[in-house]
Amino acid sequence: MDNIAGQKSGLSIATHLATALLVLLWIIPTLGLLVTSFRDQDAISQSGWWRALQGAPQPYVLSIPVDGQRQIDGGTWLLETNIFEVAAADLPQSVVDRRAVDAFGVSRLRGADTPAGETVETRQGVAVTIETDGSLRATAPEELSDLSIPVSLVAPPQMTVENYAEVLTDTTAEERAALREEGTTLDRLLFSDEALFGPFVNTLTVAIPATVIPIVIAAFAAYALAWMDFPGRGFLIAMVVGLLVVPLQLAFVPITIIHEWFGIGKSFLGIWLAHTGFGLPLAVYLLRNYMVGLPRDIIECAKVDGATDFEIFRKIVLPLSFPALASFAIFQFLWTWNDLLVASVFLPSNTESTVMTRFVVTSLLGSRGGEWHILAAAAFVMIAVPLVVFFTMQRYLVRGLLAGSVK
Amino acid sequence: MPIIVTGLITILIGVGGMIAYFWLSNYLLDKVLFPAKGENIGRNVRRATAIRPWLFVFPAVFALGLYLVVPVFYSAWLSVSSFASSDLAARGPLANYVAVLSNPEFRIALLNNFLWVLVVPSASTFIGLLAAQLTDRLSWGNIAKSLVFMPMAISFVGASLIWSFVYHPDPEIGILNAIRATFGAEGGRTFIDGDIVDSFWLMVVLIWIQTGFAMVILSAALRGVPEDTIEAAIVDGANPFQIFFKIKVPQIMPTILVVWTTITILVLKVYDIVAAMGNQYRNVEILPTQMMQSFDSGNYGFATAISVIIMVLVLPVMIWNIRQSRAEMR
């Protein structure tokens, strides 16, 4: 349409730019935490994640051998060498390979406070220069007996999955090695008290039945509300629409009391039932909207041929409604997997039965609030499954949204 | 992993039980109670047809009734009959409401909730509309949409972590403070530290999540705008902005309203973001967090009173929704 108006170019470039900006704004927060989750604990506090690919400077103190010095004119002693050659033994190989000096200094106390390339002089009159490539030039009025220099060298970016291992087992690499020598099994590690793996399994345990059960119940009801004629049908549909917006909070106290009364208490059975009840209005609404749109001819032909309602439902309506079933399944799965509120009310708070969202909010944010390597990894363990579901099933999700909202 | 086994068994019992229920009840109806044979065949078939729909809807109606309808009335009753202390009980059935409404913390929560309802739906809908229009005819529009839509899959708790990291006070860690530092600002800013404006930083998280939803629906609506109205506008010499605001937006107004109300309802229920990010600060509290506080401390009277207040706030939307769907059915 734009080309008809004859002003395609300018506006279209602006559109591209604006969209790119919007997309960038939208993914940068997630990207930041994702990159952070793969970074070393020290690297996170030393440089921002946007500099992760440049590598983080690491502090070292090098003692430079002084046997190569010679006297030049005026009695000044001169030492010319390269720190990466003479001190290679004291440095990790990756740092030597990188050959990049960020800063250096002459006082152990003040550390590496001079940017590479500049000259700094000690109180004794020793002038030291270190270039970014590591070449060192020192001049001194007297012969140097020793030279020890704090430097900050750039280590190449280190991507590690250690954070994930640490958050899933609640042990660092050394602790794990020690425990393995003691003969601790992987199973014990994964299900220890403060490990995230247990809550991960619990989340799965909550989400799957809480997704499947409401679908079955809702499918039958939706069929009746769409294709069977009975008094009170209009009222039931209106009720479902009204219940769509009832705040969950309203149900917490009564359902807690009712569950207590039935002896269910706070348990997995309780949360499965609660999620089923809370998910039903959307399930019935979505499925009915979809089933009503199925071609009337097919169903009436089947009836004429003597099929019962149960057969029509099972053999015709259910297979045809697959897109709607899939879209509700995705909604309900995302909702139950991501839920914090219902889990805080209907599950006991001990680690054996807590879900990830709650574990992160009550345990991790409290006890390890500042440790971003842990929090970032925990966040991505938590959102990995929904993201996979989202990107593989997006088509159905969008279709479901449209069926539910656009009239 | 015994609990996951229990879960699988529950699925089997749940699904199998449902199927067994439908099969058995239909069998009972057709073969035992009202068989389609014998002298009363006409009457029997009529009765079976009248009863069958109820067999289909019964489990759903039962669950909906027990988990949503009964609680509405039970909560209302508890809010006027359950008191934390006999002292409160002596002041009559509305004592909980009086105590809750006169609490200054509740007023802050109400004000914050009002701001959330005002800001989040309007911002999400507006940015979503903008994104829908921008990506509409772009070659890479679908990829862009998918990326803006992605936060929808992320839990509120996960999103809170993601944004806490963005807001981190250290300019070497938090990107917002790093940007401030490049513009010469001294030191890091703590974004969420107990100010009343902190709520806005939390709202950003929900706007970030909900914009994708608004965009997807509005983008479908924009595609549904009849081409000839746009062509007519072009012939009349309208510029692209006029086409958007005067031709397209008025035609998709009903959809914009649906998106707006859907997000509004969601905002009224939001709890996780404030619980995860503003945990220790009274100033960012909203009604659901207040409700959960009373609930956790076992004060069911206050908890139900607050939840009934939330329900009253949702009621207009509920009535509007029911009216809409009734109008559609006709």
Tens digits of residue pLDDT in A67-108:
778 888 777 888 888 888 887 777 887 788 778 888 888 877
Residues A85 and A41 in one domain: no
Average of per-residue pLDDT values in chain B: 86
A192 is a domain residue = no
Closest CB to A236: pick one of B57, B322, B324.
Answer: B57
> CA of A300 to nearest chain B CA: how many angstroms apart?
15
Q: Are A399 and A330 in contact (CB under 8 A)?
A: no
Q: Which of residues 257-296 of A touch B (CB under 8 A)?
A: 257-258, 268-269, 272-274, 276-278, 280-281, 284
- Give the domain-ending residue among A32, A53, A74: A53
User: When comparing pLDDT for B244 and A67, which is higher?
Assistant: B244
Residue A347 in contact with partner chain B when CB distance is under 8 A: no
- DSSP secondary structure code for residue B93 in this structure: T
Cβ–Cβ gap B61/A32 under 8 Å:
no
**Do A176 and A162 meet the contact criterion of CB atoms below 8 Å apart?**
no
Asked whether residue A100 is assigned to any structural domain, the reply reads yes
Rounded Cα distance between A230 and B118, Å, is 42
A195 Rama class: left (phi>0) / alpha (psi -120 to 50) / beta: beta
Which of A51, A204, A233, A253 is the mutation pick for testing B, counting most B CBs within 10 A? A253
The pLDDT assigned to B21 comes to 86
pLDDT at A41: 82
Number of domains within chain A: 3
Cα A360 to Cα A372: distance, rounded to the nearest angstrom: 12
**Has residue A267 been placed in a domain?**
yes
Measure in Å the smallest separation between the Cα of A63 and chain B Cα atoms: 30
Q: Same structural domain for residues A296 and A386?
A: yes
pLDDT on residue A195? 84
Higher-confidence residue: A157 or B104?
B104
Q: Which residue type, as a one-letter code, is found at position B61?
A: V
CA distance B177 to B187: 8
Last residue of a domain, one of A53, A72, A92: A53
**Whether pLDDT at B3 is above 70:** no
Q: What is the pLDDT of residue A1?
A: 47
Strand order in the sheet with A119-121: A70-71, A77-82, A135-140, A127-130, A119-121
User: CA angle, corner A87, sides to A84 and A88, nearest 5?
Assistant: 65
Better-predicted residue by pLDDT, B35 or A249 = A249
The boundaries of the domain holding residue A15 are: 1-53
Angle at the Cα of B193 (from B189 to B199), degrees rounded to 5?
Answer: 105
Q: Do A15 and B138 touch (CB under 8 A)?
A: yes
Alpha carbon distances (Å) from A115 to A8, A111, A148, A401, B249? 50, 12, 17, 56, 57
CA dihedral B179, B181, B186, B189 (to 10 degrees): 30
Q: What is the pLDDT of residue A307?
A: 83
- The token duo for B308 is 């009934």
A224 shares a domain with A135: no
**C-beta separation of B290 from B297 below 8 A:** no
Helix B41-64 and helix A233-243: axis angle, to 10°? Answer: 10
Distance of residue A61 Cα from the nearest chain B Cα, in angstroms: 24
Q: Give the Å distances, CA to CA, from A363 to A36, A170, A268.
A: 20, 12, 20
Locate A227 and state its tokens.
Answer: 């294709």
| Whether residues A258 and A353 fall in one domain | yes
Contact (CB<8Å) A365/B279: yes
The pLDDT assigned to B280 comes to 67
Whether A384 is in a domain gets the answer yes
User: A354 and A245 in one domain?
Assistant: yes
Q: Is B141 left (phi over 0), alpha (psi -120 to 50) or beta?
A: alpha
Q: Would you call A402 and B217 a contact, using CB atoms and an 8 Å cutoff?
A: yes
CB A271 within 8 A of CB A347: yes
B279 pLDDT band (50/70/90 cuts)?
low
Nearest to A49 by CA among A38, A35, A63, A70: A35
- Predicted local distance difference test score (pLDDT) of residue A343: 92
Residue A115, pLDDT score: 85
Please indicate, yes or no, whether residues A228 and A341 belong to a single structural domain of this protein: yes
Q: Return the axis-axis angle of helices A268-292 and B2-27, rounded to nearest 10°.
A: 50
> Once rounded to an integer, what is the mean pLDDT over residues B258-265?
88
Q: Within this chain, do residues A3 and A19 fall inside the same structural domain, yes or no?
A: yes
Chain B contact present for A34, CB below 8 A: no
- Within-domain flag for A238: yes
pLDDT less than 50: residues of chain A: 1-6, 406-407
Cβ neighbours of A59 (radius 10 Å): 14
- Where are the alpha helices (H) located in A69-196, listed in sequence order? 83-86, 93-98, 162-169, 173-182, 186-190
Nearest by CB: B144 against A11, A23, A345: A23
Q: How many CB atoms lie within 10 A of CB A117?
A: 13
Q: Are A256 and A344 in contact (CB under 8 A)?
A: no
Between CA A58 and CA A60 the distance in angstroms is 7
Say whether both A45 and A133 belong to one domain.
no
Beta strands in A134-259 (DSSP E): 135-140, 147-154
How many interface pairs between A and B have CB atoms less than 8 angstroms apart? 352
- The ipTM is 0.89
**Residue A164 resides in a domain:** no
Closest by Cα among A184, A201, A102, A110 to A151: A102
Is B165 within 8 Å of A33 when comparing Cβ atoms?
yes
Q: How far apart are CA A395 and CA A324, in angstroms?
A: 11
CB of A251 less than 8 A from some CB of B: yes
In this predicted structure, what is the pLDDT of residue A3?
47
Residue A213 sits at the chain B interface (C-beta within 8 Å): yes
Residues in chain B: 330
- Paired with A78 in beta bridges are A70, A139
Same domain, A13 and A97: no
Give yes or no for a contact between A68 and A81, defined as CB atoms under 8 angstroms apart: yes
In a domain, A187, yes or no: no
CA atoms within 13 A on the CB side of B182: 7
Statement: residue B1 has pLDDT above 70: no
A184 by Cβ neighbours in 10 Å (0-12 / 13-18 / 19+) ranks as middle
Residue A337 pLDDT: 94
Q: What was the pLDDT predicted at B48?
A: 81
Decide: A341 and A159 in contact? Cβ < 8 Å. no
pLDDT in tens, A191-242: 777 788 888 988 988 898 899 989 999 999 999 999 888 888 989 999 998 8
What is d(CA A103, CA A121) in angstroms, rounded to the nearest whole number? 15
The 8-class DSSP code of residue A351 comes to G
Q: Are A135 and A16 in a shared domain?
A: no
Bridge partners, residue A140, by sequence: A77
A69 inside domain: yes
The enclosing domain of A273 has a CATH number of 1.10.3720.10
Last residue of a domain, which of A17, A38, A53? A53
How far is Cα A198 from Cα A359, in angstroms, rounded to an integer? 10
Residue A184, token pair as written in the block: 């601790």
Tell me, letter by letter, the H, E, C secondary structure of A271-314. Answer: HHHHHHHHHHHHHHHHHHHHHHCCCHHHHHHHHHCCCCHHHHHH
Predicted pLDDT at A407: 39
- Alpha-carbon distance B91 to nearest alpha carbon in chain A (angstroms): 22
3-state secondary structure A44-70: HHHCCHHHHHHCCEEEEEEEECCCCCE
Residue-wise pLDDT for B130-178, tens only, equals 999 999 888 888 899 999 999 999 999 999 999 989 988 888 888 888 8
Specify whether A47 is located in the same domain as A96: no
Q: What are phi and psi of A80, to 5 degrees?
A: -125, 125
Euclidean distance between CA atoms A362 and A147, whole angstroms: 51
Q: Are residues A103 and A142 in the same domain?
A: yes
Query: What kind and span of H or E run contains A79?
Result: strand A77-82
CA distance linking residue B103 with residue B302, whole number of Å: 11
